[in-house]
Structure 1
Amino acid sequence: MTTSIEDRWLRLEPIRIGWLGMEWQRFKREIQMAFDEGIERGLLDRRYEFLFEDNAGLPQGTAKGGIDAFNRLVDAGCLAVVGANYTDSAMALAEHANARKVPLISMCGTDAFHGEYCFRLGNGDVGGDPALMVNWLKREGHRRVAVVMPWSPISPEYVRFFHQECRRLGISVAAVESITNKTTTDELAEKFALLRDAKADALAWLGYGGLVVNGTVRAALEKIDWDPPRIMTTAFMQYIWGFEQLEGWVGIDQWCPENPRMHRFHERFVARYGEDPWMWPNAIPGLAYDMAATTVEALHRATVLTGQGVKEGIERIRFMPAVTGGPNTHIAGGPFDHQLFKGDWLHFGRVRDGKLEFAGLFEPTDDY
């Protein structure tokens, strides 16, 4: 009896990919679309199976919780794990990805996440965010900036890069106020009042966005009736939890209407699922798709279907066009190059009248 191609396809064990973090449940359609398109385009010669672990560990949980979840995915046969997207969780998992020899692809932004099996498709960059923020300050004519610094494990990294760029472009730091994720509206209002009194031209938010999401930042600014020109790190993309909390802010973003691939992604998504991605337009659905599509391309290029083979597949990607970022954004790796986004993958956005607006690509100043 002959066996049909379909029967042989179904007899092959599926490729297993792990997804680490609670956010993937919300973007399941985007990642499935990338893999389904990979099959339709002939890039994958096996079925795929997704395994999900919601607990990525820090900062909401514990490092042990994230490590245990990662190990469960690897023990279940996953050839790659995508997630650990908060910088804290990625930092805790780096040594375990390297030890287990299974690629971990994260959207974290820190240089502290590195190693032979650690790859970044960043939802921001701890060095790049400050460089763009200071560039914006200079181009907008702001010469004295007041800084709010929410504490986190990457605060020193943010501060180092921000001061470096301010020194390079001639921007003075008028005042800095540190806060925590437990800072109340009244306490933050007092901090904002001190920064306002420093007579700065603009306000910079240099860190995570938890107090943005829960409304504390907007309430504190309104409490002291302060509406300065202001710019934020990629914490700005916490707009996925509500644009109204970011009214008036410029921030580092990754949704660009000048990128034709973003529009084509949206069209294909609507054709496949009959509705827009969640809270469209915003950057995160496209980023989720890019992370999955990169995994597909890595599997296609893998020397063998093992963790090491997939790692080598990622390192062989060159000039893969991206949905994320500006029109020149592309994805590429190398044996010693695991920061995969290239080109204008970070740019500027603004929330005005409760809506997300594109606020321009990076433009160099005359300091270079």
Structure 2
Amino acid sequence: MTAPLRVGLLGDMSSGPPGPVDLEPWLRRAVEDLHAAGALQNPVEFVHAFGLGLPQGEAGNVERAFAELADAGALLVVGPAIGDNALIATPLAEQFGLPTINWAGSEYARNRYMFQLQVGSHQDEPLLLADYLARRGARELAVIYDASPIGEGYVQALGYAARTRGLEMAASAIDPLAENADDALAQVLDSATSACLYLGLGHCIAAVNTALDAAGWCGERITTSAGIRGYHPQFAAHLEGWVYVDLWSEGNRTLAALRQRFELDISASFAAAKGWDLGRLVAHALASAPEATREGVLRGLELTKWLPAAEGEEGTLLGFGAWDRGALHGRYLVPRRWVDGRSVAVAMD
């Protein structure tokens, strides 16, 4: 029997199964499609390792989980999901010579062996939000950001974008796990404020929203892809009315076909788009690999190009290249707003 190609799944958001996210079914669907088409010959085996990373856990947990997958003979790793942990794993991918696809938000979580599916972007999202605010005549911004690499990446990029768009901002840092944001908000919110932004991972979005309510703030509330937490009931009420950044569009024909094929409700669009795009990157890399080795899979990733993405606006493309480690190309970030518990598109004009 042909030896299986082993793919490692690194769960950095929990210390064990099942974890908050299970990507394996989506990866299996994409692999099965290429098996059925005859493009992929070898069987594929998925192995899991869990290490609760930052901000709730420790960096060492991610390091241990990554080493477990390397020792298990993985030819390719998928994960981590959180930007801080992707930064931890990036030198490990190089150390082990192990091709890895993180699905986090930092452009700095890339190197020869570390590839990225941008499920959000600490560098690009602030540009989108700055354009959105400038086109609506905003001038003074109150910004609360996580005191972490994620939050600091966001606020730095927003600062650059603001200066070129005539926006001014007052920013205050907050613990990524804070349960109270009153003091941080009081430092930046005043009568001239046009909009209030939260930049971070999203664990403390409830605290920020509660502080805005307590301050009687009736202006625009805006966040990053942290707003994707609105799909979870424990965060939904706190994100009502917020503008945020998502990765799916009603106009994306690849996503529409995917929902039809698997009979998915539109509310499953984000999870389906992300899972399907990750799955196709994995499946096509394995099918394109010239040999069943880590270096072969690295080459297979570089040969994976120009796939229509389920994420983003229609026309977004998926793939890598010899010096290209960011998978999504085009208008992959989509501004949306939570209205009555539903995610609705927001016009940029």
Q: Please give the TM-score of this superposition, normalised by the length of structure 1.
A: 0.87
Structure 1: which 5+ residue stretches go unaligned?
Answer: 1-10, 271-275, 364-368
Q: Call closer, same or farther: CA 1:177–1:131 in 2, change over 3 Å.
A: same
Q: Which residue of 2 aligns with 1:13?
A: 3
Number of the residue aligned with 1:261: 254
1:107–1:312 CA distance, 2 compared to 1 (3 A): same
Name which of 87, 94, 98 aligns with 1:91.
Answer: 87
Alignment of 1:236 with 2:231, yes or no, is no
2:197 corresponds, among 201, 204, 214, to: 204
Q: Which of 154, 160, 164 is matched with 1:164 structurally?
A: 160
Residue 334 of structure 2, aligned match among 347, 350, 356: 347
- The 5-angstrom pairing of residues 89-168 of structure 1 reads 89-168=85-164
Contact 1:56 1:89 in 2 (8 A): no
What count of residue pairs does the alignment treat as equivalent? 341
Structure 2 residue runs of 5 or longer lacking an equivalent are: none
Partner amino acid for 2:193? A
Q: Distance in 2 between matches of 1:352 and 1:211?
A: 20
* Counterparts of residues 209-288 of structure 1 (less than 5 Å): 209-212=202-205, 215-242=206-233, 243-270=236-263, 276=264, 280-288=267-275
Q: Aligned AA for 2:134?
A: K
Q: Distance in 1 between matches of 2:20 and 2:194?
A: 39
**Following the alignment from structure 1 to structure 2, what is the Cα–Cα distance between the partners of residues 148 and 57?**
23
Paired residues of 1:18 and 1:73 also in contact (CA < 8 A): yes
Equivalent AA in structure 2 for residue 253 of structure 1: D
Q: What displacement does 1:85 show?
A: 1.1
* Residue of structure 1 in register with 2:344 after alignment: 357
Q: CA deviation at 1:161?
A: 1.2
Counterpart of 1:180 (choices 149, 153, 175) is 175
User: Who is 1:189 aligned against?
Assistant: 182
For residues 66-113 of structure 1, what are the alpha-carbon distances to aligned partners after superposition, in whole Å with 9 as ceiling and x for unaligned? 112112112212110001111111111111111211111011121321
Aligned to 2:66: 70
- Tell me: CA distance 1:216–1:160, structure 2 relative to 1, closer, same or farther (3 Å): closer
Q: 1:8: which partner in 2?
A: none
CA contact (8 A) 1:145 1:202 kept: yes
- Stretch of structure 1 that moved more, 134-143 or 49-58: 49-58
Please state whether the residue corresponding to 1:280 is helix, strand or coil. Answer: helix
Alignment of 1:288-367 (within 5 A): 288-360=275-347
Segment drifting more, 215-224 vs 232-241? 215-224
TM-score (norm 2): 0.91
The whole-number CA distance in structure 1 between the counterparts of 2:7 and 2:20 is 12
Q: Distance in 1 between matches of 2:106 and 2:319?
A: 18
Give the partner amino acid of 1:222.
D
Cα offset, 1:305, TM superposition: 1.2
Query: SS where residue 169 of structure 1 aligns?
Result: coil
Q: CA RMSD in A?
A: 1.9
Say if 1:181 and 1:211, in contact at 8 Å, map to a contact too.
yes
Check whether the contact 1:19–1:53 (CA below 8 A) recurs between aligned residues: yes
Partner of 2:39: 43
Q: Identify the range of structure 1 (313-322 vs 47-56) with the bigger mean alpha-carbon deviation.
A: 47-56
C-alpha deviation, 1:160, in angstroms: 1.9
How much does 1:39 deviate?
1.4
Paired residue secondary structure (1:203): strand
Residues 190 and 56 of structure 1, relative CA distance in 2, 3 Å threshold: closer
Check the 8 A contact 2:145/2:152 in 1, yes or no.
no
Check whether the contact 2:93–2:100 (CA below 8 A) recurs between aligned residues. Answer: yes
